[in-house]
Structure 1
Amino acid sequence: MEITKNNFSQELDNITNNLKRSCFVSFDAEFTAILSDECFNHKLFDTSKERYDLIKNEVSKMIITQFGLTMFQYEREQDSYTAVGYTFHLCPQAFGDIDQSFIFQASTLRFLCKHKFNFNKFIYEGLPYLSKTEEKLIRQQLQDKTLFINLINKMNMDDERTLQHYCSEVSKWLMNGDEEILYFDIENPVMRYIVHNEIRLRFPDVLMTDSLGNSNKVLIYRDKNVEGAKSAPITVLEENLISNILGFSQIINLLAEHKKPIVGHNIFLDTILLHSQFIGPLPKNYSVFKKNINDLFPTIFDTKYISHEMGRKLTSDETWKSNALQDLYEFFLEGKLSWLQTGMNIVKLKIPFDVNQTYHEAGWDSYCSGYCFIRLGHWAACEANGNLKPVGPKEKLAALSPFCNKVNIIREAVPYMNLVNNDPPSHRPDLLHVKSIKERVINVEKVTSVLASFGSLDIKRYGRRTALVATSSRNVADRILKQFRNDGEYRIAPYRFVKHSPVGRVAVWSSAIITGSILFIFLHRNVNTKIL
């Protein structure tokens, strides 16, 4: 189901109830940028911290435009899962001192057009949102009684005219009207809040309230003491305003409150954007970032990482084409592992997706991630039990617990980001040190071309005549070392800090000088003692 600002309020209770009934929730996010800049290039040299440090400033220019959520509910009698899927359309907002912004790359527009992205829905119907930091700022302004003045000061000319129109209508009604009640139908929640406050200030003798049957309707009573009517408390108006401008952030709050296991596929960048958009500016400290994400969602699973690790158990004839989401989903959907079909749960969608549904649509991708999670959980639980049989969601979650809070990192030195502990050590071979024998300045592009045929690797300049090579496997490193053992153009050897690093060499020489000096002083004193 698609959720926009037009139906969000009506569906919020249903979304909340479906979330409460779920045993886990899967998600997916679609962004406003294709990750093509230099800082997003995945290098085998990178640790998770280095990758985070490279992209944290660039990510602030991006936003999530679609957020997909699928809530998987277990039906015990049928031993099946019912999936309730939602695609939330999001759009940044301007509110008082807050003016959210982002960058659209031309390449991103081309990509989104290819996948039939609905720009009108994004702009005209997208839900607003606030980060925790932005919400805190607004609540502080409410407490300081400065929000209303800020909103008045930030109004554009059209809104000023609209507000003046409402005030003029009230003035004419009070002077010449016969009706006891005047009402305005104001769709914009911010304008509705401003009108309530402005009219109360200008016309203190009237009574203002909201219609119970129409949340957009503002009622104004000539008689402040009219029987059965009470002035809408300012605190209620303020909470209604906060609720409206929070928009989709209410869903993030619900997920955090109910602490359901959260499942996604290849979610390293998703977690960074989640922080930027719904928690606040990304912290300088990588460990603080991880803690903030873990505090928000304490149980996260990444099917990219799980499938990578479990795929090691399959033979080359059994395994999936790749563990990209589409390939993984279709692998399990088609029942490629025939021996795993015993006791497999049926998974059904409560509301089918559009017949023209494509990948890279957040709701559909979130469903695919959850579907794969169920299949991987069945496999892991049956393996743990020692036999193939039906297993419930608790058994699946228990069997997959070794993968909990471990987020896949594409093409880097460490295999995953650990959200609750230190990241693991590098699983790549030692770096290789390349020294150019003939060239006074090493040509990195040429070295890359020369070594490319050996397999997956990355190269970076290390000095005027030297470079470092990171390889994807021990086999690639060994083949390079063997081939260049007696090469006349490049000297390649395993990198050693003491031997190849200028800092290492300085440390060794400094240590030698200090040791020699101490020895000299000791010998000198010893000689003088003997002479005396």
Structure 2
Amino acid sequence: MEITKNNFFEELDNITENLKRSSFVGFDAEFTAMLSGERFKHRLFDTNEDRYNLIKNEVGKILMTQVGLTMFQYNRDLDKYDAIGYTFHLCPQAFGDVDQFFIFQASTLQFLCKHKFDFNKFIYQGLRFLNKAEEDQIRQQLTAFDNLSNVLEMDGERQLQHYCSEVSWWLTNSDEGTMYLDIEDPILRYMTHNELRTRFDNILTTDSLGNSNKVLIYRDRYVEGANSAPLRILKDNLMSHLLGFSQIINLLAIYKKPIIGHNLFLDTILLHNQFIGPLPHKYVMFKQNIRNFFPKMYDTKHISYVVGKKLSLDEVWKSNALQDLYEFFSEGKCKRLEQGANFIRLTTPFDVKQSYHEAGWDSYCSGYIFIRLGHWAACELIGKYRPVGPTEKLSALEPYVNKVNVIRGAVLYMNLAGDDPPRQRPNLLHVKCIKERVINVSKVASSLAAYGSVDVKPYDVRTALVAASSHFTADKILKQFKNSADYRITPYSPIRHSAAGKMALWSGAILTTSIFLYFLHRKVNE
């Protein structure tokens, strides 16, 4: 189901109820841009902290334009899952001193066009959102009403003056005890309540029962049975409008349902920036904040990578891309993994032919894959293939909780629950150019590319460091270049190859020699 500002508040109670009843929630997002170019290229040298520090000041320009959530509800009697999928369309907003901004990258625009992204829905019907810092800023502005002079644009100001003139004419020329103003825009409605109360001392304003768009005005503020709408309620109503989709993020944090996604590294950073607040300076604080909001996150890309190593070649999937994994499982390509598997029913069908890279559909695919991977893991623990419920699946996949896949880095995953794992790639290699006085990094990379996936970076004028993707690749390079006339390639040693290490070695050697000569001199003089 598509959720926009036109139907969000109508569906909010249903969304909340479906979330409460779910065992876990599939998640996906589409972005306005991706960090690209040589500067942001993923390298095997990168630690997760390096990568976080590189991008933390840049992701503020990127927005999630769509968020997909699929609530998976388990029916124990029928041993099946009902999947209720939602695609939330988001759009930035301006209110008071908060003026959100973003960039649209040309390549991303082309990608979104290719996948039938609806830009009109994004701009005209997108839901508002606020992160916690922006929410606090607006609440402070609402408390100091004088600071809201820039909230309304010129048309809104004219309309506000028109409403005040209508009320003034009514008070002067009519004997009616009440009047209504029909104001659809929540911001203008809030401003009208406040402006009327400021200008006209004796009136009473409240929201009309049964129609939240109508402002009901009583001529006599002391009229029996009528109460002026408390300012707190008016503020809460306005904040609900301004928070928009952020209310769903808050519900996810309240109910603490496991979040299931695919390749979540950048998603977690954008989730923090867009809904929690500006990214902290320290990487460890970022991870802690994410875990406080979402205590359990599962990344099906990481799980599929680890689980795939435990299957035989004729059983395992050929790619762990989202679409390939979903089609592998949904088409039953490995019969052993299908034995006793739960039936999964998507209650709101998508147009499959056009829906990949549509956030709602991808969130469903992530949850579907998770159920199948959890089925395999639980059955392996039990020792036989039989039906298993969500509790057993989550228990079997507990080793993978809060481990987020990392693309082409020094380690395979980011651990949101603690320290990242130690480096799992081979030790770095040190390359020294023999024939040339200045090393050509591109030429070195081309020479080594035939032996596997590598990254090369300069170390000094005549040397470079090489990060290999596997021990097989590193060993092959060392073997092939053992007697090379062009390059001397050896395992990198900070002591032997760094300037500081060399200085320490020479200092140690000089000190040792000096001590030896001193005692030798004393011995001779005796």
Instruction: Give the shorter-chain TM-score range.
Output: over 0.9
Write the letter of the residue equivalent to 2:137: L
Q: CA deviation at 1:335?
A: 0.8
Over 3 Å counting, the alpha-carbon distance change for 1:37 and 1:151 in structure 2 is farther
**Residue number among 256, 259, 269 corresponding to 2:256 in the alignment:** 259
Aligned equivalents of 1:424, 1:319: Cα separation in 2? 25
* TM-score under structure 2 length normalisation: 0.97
**SS in structure 1 of the partner of residue 57 of structure 2:** helix
Aligned equivalents of 1:500, 1:463: Cα separation in 2? 10
Q: Does 1:168 align with 2:127?
A: no
Partner of 1:21: 21
Q: CA deviation at 1:450?
A: 1.3
Aligned equivalents of 2:507, 2:222: Cα separation in 1? 89
**SS in structure 2 of the partner of residue 153 of structure 1:** coil
Write the letter of the residue equivalent to 2:181: F
Aligned equivalents of 1:511, 1:160: Cα separation in 2? 78
Contact 2:115–2:357 (CA<8 Å) still a contact in 1? yes
Write the letter of the residue equivalent to 1:305: H
Aligned equivalents of 1:522, 1:193: Cα separation in 2? 90
Report which stretch shifted further, 218-227 or 288-297: 218-227
Aligned equivalents of 2:155, 2:515: Cα separation in 1? 82
Partner of 1:362: 359
**Residue number among 167, 181, 189 corresponding to 1:192 in the alignment:** 189
Q: Does 1:50 align with 2:50?
A: yes
**SS in structure 1 of the partner of residue 88 of structure 2:** strand
- CA RMSD across the alignment: 1.8
Partner of 1:180: 177
Contact 2:96–2:141 (CA<8 Å) still a contact in 1? no
**SS in structure 1 of the partner of residue 149 of structure 2:** helix
Aligned equivalents of 2:476, 2:102: Cα separation in 1? 46
Q: CA deviation at 1:214?
A: 1.1
Aligned equivalents of 1:120, 1:171: Cα separation in 2? 39
The 5-angstrom pairing of residues 384-403 of structure 1 reads 384-403=381-400
Write the letter of the residue equivalent to 2:419: N
Report which stretch shifted further, 184-193 or 124-133: 184-193
Write the letter of the residue equivalent to 1:313: K
The 5-angstrom pairing of residues 472-491 of structure 1 reads 472-491=469-488
Q: CA deviation at 1:141?
A: 3.5
Aligned residues: 526
Over 3 Å counting, the alpha-carbon distance change for 1:523 and 1:185 in structure 2 is farther
Aligned equivalents of 1:491, 1:51: Cα separation in 2? 30
Q: Does 1:315 align with 2:312?
A: yes
Q: CA deviation at 1:521?
A: 7.5
Q: Does 1:12 align with 2:9?
A: no
Q: CA deviation at 1:199?
A: 0.8
Which ranges of structure 1 fall in alignment gaps of 5 or more residues? none
Aligned equivalents of 2:513, 2:8: Cα separation in 1? 76
Q: CA deviation at 1:517?
A: 6.1
Over 3 Å counting, the alpha-carbon distance change for 1:458 and 1:231 in structure 2 is same
Partner of 1:412: 409
Contact 1:128–1:247 (CA<8 Å) still a contact in 2? yes
Report which stretch shifted further, 133-142 or 317-326: 133-142
Contact 1:408–1:415 (CA<8 Å) still a contact in 2? yes
Report which stretch shifted further, 67-76 or 344-353: 344-353
Aligned equivalents of 1:511, 1:171: Cα separation in 2? 92
Aligned equivalents of 2:494, 2:448: Cα separation in 1? 22
Partner of 2:331: 334
* TM-score under structure 1 length normalisation: 0.96
Q: CA deviation at 1:180?
A: 2.2
Partner of 1:291: 288
Over 3 Å counting, the alpha-carbon distance change for 1:518 and 1:226 in structure 2 is farther
Partner of 2:115: 115
Report which stretch shifted further, 30-39 or 265-274: 30-39
Over 3 Å counting, the alpha-carbon distance change for 1:141 and 1:512 in structure 2 is farther
Write the letter of the residue equivalent to 2:501: G
Partner of 1:212: 209
Q: Deviations over 1:41-69 (max 9, x none)?
A: 11111111111111111111101000000
**SS in structure 1 of the partner of residue 61 of structure 2:** coil
Partner of 1:76: 76
* Identity rate, percent: 67
Aligned equivalents of 2:251, 2:498: Cα separation in 1? 51
**SS in structure 2 of the partner of residue 243 of structure 1:** helix
Q: Does 1:349 align with 2:346?
A: yes
Write the letter of the residue equivalent to 1:31: F
**Residue number among 424, 438, 441 corresponding to 1:441 in the alignment:** 438
Partner of 2:220: 223
Q: CA deviation at 1:213?
A: 1.1
Write the letter of the residue equivalent to 1:294: R
Contact 2:141–2:148 (CA<8 Å) still a contact in 1? no
Contact 1:442–1:464 (CA<8 Å) still a contact in 2? yes
Over 3 Å counting, the alpha-carbon distance change for 1:179 and 1:496 in structure 2 is same
Q: Deviations over 1:365-389 (max 9, x none)?
A: 0000000000000000000000111
Contact 2:34–2:62 (CA<8 Å) still a contact in 1? no
**Residue number among 437, 451, 475 corresponding to 2:448 in the alignment:** 451
Which ranges of structure 2 fall in alignment gaps of 5 or more residues? none
